[in-house]
């Protein structure tokens, strides 16, 4: 005796519960208890398949296996939705680890992210990372901040005033540890805060863990370690960024009054900007580079000047004597730490790409869509570099109000 053919999909669809959730849900109680499979009634099914009223019994076998009296309709399955990572919330932290990032221009630098990674290592599961920023700063939750203490700072360069304001913020926060980047501004701020509070500062930590901080000493011949102190600075490129799910970055109220007056012992403090044309490539923030696909070097130099960038080049141009050797970007040239790298007519050979691995943003102009530099770039222009450069100059002139209005780009 043959068994009626089952349709598991239809059976499953019949138990589907319509709803809005991301996952499809089914009512398992509709199935027969015990067996886990729906209980059948073969006689009733057979009866339902019977057609006509003639002398001979006739059955419509196409209905075999269908639930009796129940039309089986295709139930639309909700499309699988890629779940966004859940934001981690630490409701009542056992303690706080404060971070005072440089955040130049309202954005975390690569070094700031590393300090946040170090703070997360210290905070563990029970602690929370609180970031103290002057003005707005984006991307704090993704970088590992559980809390954000934000206050308005004074305009202009005011290191002593900033140290006083951060000191007030730290006093209200009562953090167990406070980390600064060992950068030009961060290192200076950390020392000012340490002097003002009369506390010791552990500088240039290269290892940051809950059991202790480690730094090199005596020309790297000795390592000094210490149980996590209250104030410390973190060396650049020593600690990994935070790589976990986004954190809450809940705003904290600022308690205390913010001193905005510069202390009187400083008469004037002005930041003198470095000339990008002469700044060493390894320190440059924005590098515009020429490659073998670029023939108009005069326009290239104009573009570099107008963009206030530092000039760079691929090895082919340096070997040909068209660009100075110290401008070579790459494994056998200079490895950049620039925020933005603009490559004109450069193929993106592995040796060249090694030099731009640490750049945050890469813009490439190349006629070859499949060039490795185009693949590396966040913004790619597949065009002749000789045509892009004058267009860019016209655009810059228009923006600065010098160009002829409405000139075609
Ligand atoms: C041991 C070793 C070390 C090296 N170290 C370095 C290093 O440190 N730095 C370095 O740069 N190289 C280095 N090189 C060389 C490297 O392998 C490549 O040869 C070099 O980077 C290629 O330079 P390029 O991209 O400018 O030229 P090419 O490879 O010739 O590429 C030119 C690019 O320009 C594009 N192009 C052509 N015409 C136009 C146009 N009109 N407009 C826009 N794009 C155009 C082409 O599509 C092409 O992608 C090293 C090589 C070796 C063996």
Model pTM score: 0.64
- Are 323 and 394 found together in one domain? yes
So what's the pLDDT on residue 2? 64
- Are 247 and 297 found together in one domain? no
Q: Which atom of ligand 1 is nearest to the CA of 295?
A: 41
- Are 237 and 355 found together in one domain? no
Residue at 69 is within a domain: no
Phi, psi angle pair for 252, to nearest 5°: -100, 145
Residue at 75 is within a domain: no
- For ligand 1, the distance from its centroid to the CA atom of residue 396, given in whole angstroms, is 27
Hey, is 166 helix, strand or coil? helix
Residue at 106 is within a domain: yes
So what's the pLDDT on residue 72? 41
CATH at residue 322: 3.40.50.1220
- For ligand 1, the distance from its centroid to the CA atom of residue 116, given in whole angstroms, is 37
Question: In order along the chain (409 residues), what is the average pLDDT of each group of 10 residues?
Answer: 76 79 74 58 80 70 54 48 79 94 88 95 93 90 94 77 89 93 94 94 94 91 92 94 92 74 65 86 94 96 95 97 96 93 97 94 96 96 96 93 50
- Are 111 and 239 found together in one domain? yes
- For ligand 1, the distance from its centroid to the CA atom of residue 277, given in whole angstroms, is 23
Burial class (CB in 10 A: 0-12, 13-18, 19+), 134: buried
Question: Which residues pair with residue 361 across a beta bridge?
Answer: 340
- Are 365 and 319 found together in one domain? yes
Q: Which atom of ligand 1 is nearest to the CA of 373?
A: 49
So what's the pLDDT on residue 74? 43
Q: Is residue 334 in contact with ligand 1, taking CB distance under 6 Å?
A: no
- For ligand 1, the distance from its centroid to the CA atom of residue 394, given in whole angstroms, is 27
- Are 109 and 235 found together in one domain? yes
Spatial separation of the C-alpha atoms in residues 35 and 167, rounded to whole Å: 69
Residue at 135 is within a domain: yes
Q: By alpha-carbon position, which residue is closest to atom 41 of ligand 1?
A: 384
- Are 203 and 340 found together in one domain? no
- Are 245 and 100 found together in one domain? yes
Residue at 23 is within a domain: no
- Are 248 and 288 found together in one domain? no
CATH at residue 145: 3.40.50.620
Other beta carbons less than 10 A from residue 381's beta carbon: 18
Q: By alpha-carbon position, which residue is closest to atom 8 of ligand 1?
A: 330
Residue at 395 is within a domain: yes
Q: By alpha-carbon position, which residue is closest to atom 26 of ligand 1?
A: 291
Other beta carbons less than 10 A from residue 112's beta carbon: 28
- Are 244 and 314 found together in one domain? no
- For ligand 1, the distance from its centroid to the CA atom of residue 302, given in whole angstroms, is 22
Domain of 119? Answer: 96-252
Q: What is the domain count for the chain?
A: 2
């Amino acid at each position: 005796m043959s068994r009626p053919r089952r349709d598991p999909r239809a059976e499953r669809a019949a138990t589907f519960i319509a709803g809005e959730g991301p996952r499809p849900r089914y009512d398992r109680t509709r199935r027969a208890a015990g067996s886990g499979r729906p209980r059948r009634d073969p006689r009733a099914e057979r009866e339902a398949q019977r057609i006509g009223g003639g002398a001979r019994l006739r059955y419509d076998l196409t209905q075999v296996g269908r639930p009796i009296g129940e039309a089986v309709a295709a139930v639309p399955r909700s499309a699988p939705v890629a779940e966004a990572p859940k934001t981690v919330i630490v409701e009542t932290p056992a303690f706080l680890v404060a971070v005072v990032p440089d955040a130049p221009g309202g954005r975390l630098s690569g070094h700031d992210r590393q300090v946040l990674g170090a703070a997360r290592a210290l905070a563990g599961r029970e602690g929370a990372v609180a970031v103290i920023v002057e003005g707005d700063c984006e991307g704090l939750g993704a970088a590992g901040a559980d809390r954000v203490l934000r206050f308005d700072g004074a305009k202009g360069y005011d290191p002593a005033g900033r140290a006083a304001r951060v000191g007030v913020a730290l006093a209200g926060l009562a953090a167990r540890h406070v980390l600064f980047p060992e950068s030009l501004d961060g290192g200076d701020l950390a020392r000012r805060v340490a002097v003002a509070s009369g506390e010791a500062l552990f500088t240039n930590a290269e290892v940051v863990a809950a059991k202790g901080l480690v730094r090199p000493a005596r020309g790297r011949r000795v390592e000094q370690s210490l149980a996590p102190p209250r104030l410390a600075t973190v060396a650049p490129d020593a600690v990994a960024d935070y790589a976990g799910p986004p954190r809450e970055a809940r705003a904290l109220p600022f308690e205390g009054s913010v001193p905005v007056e510069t202390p009187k012992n400083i008469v004037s403090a002005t930041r003198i900007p470095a000339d990008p044309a002469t700044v060493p490539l390894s320190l440059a923030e924005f590098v515009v580079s020429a490659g073998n696909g670029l023939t108009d070097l005069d326009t290239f130099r104009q573009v570099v000047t107008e963009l206030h960038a530092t000039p760079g080049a691929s090895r082919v141009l340096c070997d040909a004597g068209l660009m100075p050797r110290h401008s070579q970007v790459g494994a056998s040239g200079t490895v950049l730490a620039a925020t933005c790298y603009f490559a004109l007519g450069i193929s993106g050979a592995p040796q060249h790409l090694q030099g731009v691995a640490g750049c945050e943003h890469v813009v490439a102009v190349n006629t070859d869509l499949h060039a490795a530099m185009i693949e590396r770039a966040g913004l790619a222009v597949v065009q002749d570099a000789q045509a892009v450069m004058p267009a860019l100059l016209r655009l810059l002139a228009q923006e600065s109000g010098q160009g002829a209005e409405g000139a075609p780009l």
